Every structure is written in structure tokens, then in C-alpha cells.
């Protein structure tokens, strides 16, 4: 994949996703997508299940929680976000929604919320209806945060028996389409112009 990036700066893509279960399908898919974005020339940082066990959001609470502070710092620098969630009763999980609610701390930024950022969406659920309604809900949340969902969203049906190649191999083609769309925007000159609007100069650690 070739993209134009004349700024000589490696853009940052932030992953937010997972569940309370270690090694959840949604977190593994999110990390696989970040790996593809990294191969395309972006820096990445991931906030997985354990990171998302945050207190219920209220204004000002992020300053008292190191993970929340680091997540907001990363999002302020980011050109792209990859969000992954299991589907719970027609929407995304509570811990992922709560993490996204912390972006209210960015409401007075030069680039508030997800403005000027692309967002790749991954949902995992049991059944076609469940993944469909959850993906619609996630895209609506991204729109509400002024972000741009990628044209391709990844819906992983956990009730479908994996092929002989395994579940990860089955979802990889869709993840690659979405991740390359995220990277294409993050590496573009348009994204560089949005990054220039930020009013901070923050360094964060890269994802392992």
C-alpha cells in the first residue's frame, strides 16, 4: 500500500478495545489490526481489556487515573483510532463505551474529541444480527465524537466455526482492508494538517 506522507512524521494510531476476559477475541483482533497499521508506517499504542477497567467517567477524574491520562494523551496526538468491542445486547460493551466517554476531557481542544481522526471499527458477537447492530452503534458513536469511520467495518461472528486455518486467519482479510484504510488516512497530508492544529507536544510510549 502506497500513501503520501510528506511531513516525515510517523503518525500515531491508538487502539482501544477488548473485554474483561484476558485474550478476548476483540482485543486480539484490535492488536492484529494495529500490527498491520504499524507495517504501513504508523506508530501504534494499545489500550486493551485491563487498561479499560476505568472508574465511571466524570469530568476531571482522568487526572487522577494514570491509564486514563495516558489514553487521553495518546488520543490527542493520534491521527487514527481502532476501536474493538464485543456486542452486548445491541451495542458495544460498557467498558469500551466508558473509555470513549473519557474523550469529554478533549472537548475544549483545538481538535475536540475525534475531530480530524479516522476510526476503524471492529465488533465481535454471536450471530449476524448482533454484529450488525453493534457495528451500527459503534459507527454512530464515532460520528457523535466527530470522527470518520472507515468505509469498511469488521464484523466477526464468533458463532461461526473457524476454518482449518484458524479464527485469526479467517478474520485477517477484513482486518487488513480496514487497517489499510486507517493507515492511508493517517499517513496522508490531510491528516498532517489536522495534526498541526493540536495544542500539545506530547511523547508517549509505543505499543509493544
Residue ranges per structural domain of the chain: 12-195
Q: Decide: 32 and 63 in contact? Cβ < 8 Å.
A: no
How high is the pLDDT of residue 9?
A: 79
**Residue that has been written with the C-alpha cell 490527542 in this structure:** 76
pTM summary value? 0.88
SS3 label, residue 11: coil
Handedness of CA 86, 91, 93, 99 (dihedral sign): positive
Q: Decide: 155 and 72 in contact? Cβ < 8 Å.
A: no
Residue 198 reports pLDDT greater than 80: no
Residue 189 reports pLDDT greater than 70: yes
H-run or E-run covering 178: helix 167-186
The topology (CATH level 3) of 12-195 is Rossmann fold (3.40.50)
Residue 208 reports pLDDT greater than 80: no
Contacts of 136 (CB under 8 A, 6+ apart): none
C-alpha cell at 93: 460493551
pLDDT tens-digit map of 114-167: 999 999 999 999 999 999 999 999 999 999 999 999 999 999 998 887 776 667
CA distance 133 to 129: 6
Closest CA to 5 of 187, 190, 164, 200: 187
Closest CA to 145 of 111, 180, 193: 111
pLDDT tens-digit map of 56-89: 999 888 788 999 999 999 999 999 999 999 999 9
How high is the pLDDT of residue 162?
A: 72
Lowest pLDDT segment from 5-9, 52-56, 77-81, 177-181 = 5-9
Looking at per-residue pLDDT, the higher value among 190 and 47 belongs to 47
Amino acid at each position: 500500500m502506497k500513501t503520501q506522507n510528506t511531513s516525515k512524521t510517523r503518525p500515531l494510531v491508538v487502539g482501544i478495545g477488548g473485554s474483561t476476559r484476558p485474550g478476548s477475541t476483540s482485543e486480539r483482533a484490535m492488536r492484529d489490526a494495529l500490527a498491520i497499521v504499524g507495517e504501513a508506517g504508523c506508530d501504534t499504542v494499545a489500550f486493551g481489556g485491563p487498561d479499560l477497567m476505568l472508574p465511571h467517567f466524570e469530568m476531571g477524574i482522568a487526572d487522577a487515573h494514570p491509564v486514563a491520562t495516558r489514553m487521553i494523551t495518546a488520543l490527542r496526538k493520534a491521527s487514527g483510532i481502532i476501536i474493538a468491542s464485543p456486542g452486548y445486547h445491541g451495542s458495544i460493551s460498557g467498558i469500551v463505551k466508558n473509555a470513549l466517554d473519557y474523550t469529554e476531557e478533549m472537548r475544549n481542544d483545538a481538535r475536540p474529541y475525534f475531530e480530524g481522526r479516522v476510526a476503524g471499527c471492529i465488533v465481535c458477537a454471536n450471530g449476524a444480527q448482533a454484529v450488525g447492530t453493534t457495528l451500527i452503534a459503534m459507527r454512530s458513536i464515532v460520528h457523535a465524537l466527530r470522527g470518520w469511520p472507515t468505509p469498511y467495518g469488521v464484523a466477526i461472528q464468533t458463532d461461526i466455526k473457524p476454518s482449518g486455518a484458524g479464527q485469526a486467519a479467517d478474520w485477517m482479510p477484513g482486518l487488513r482492508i480496514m487497517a489499510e484504510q486507517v493507515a492511508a488516512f493517517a499517513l496522508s497530508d490531510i491528516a498532517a494538517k489536522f495534526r498541526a492544529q493540536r495544542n500539545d507536544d506530547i511523547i508517549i510510549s509505543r505499543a509493544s
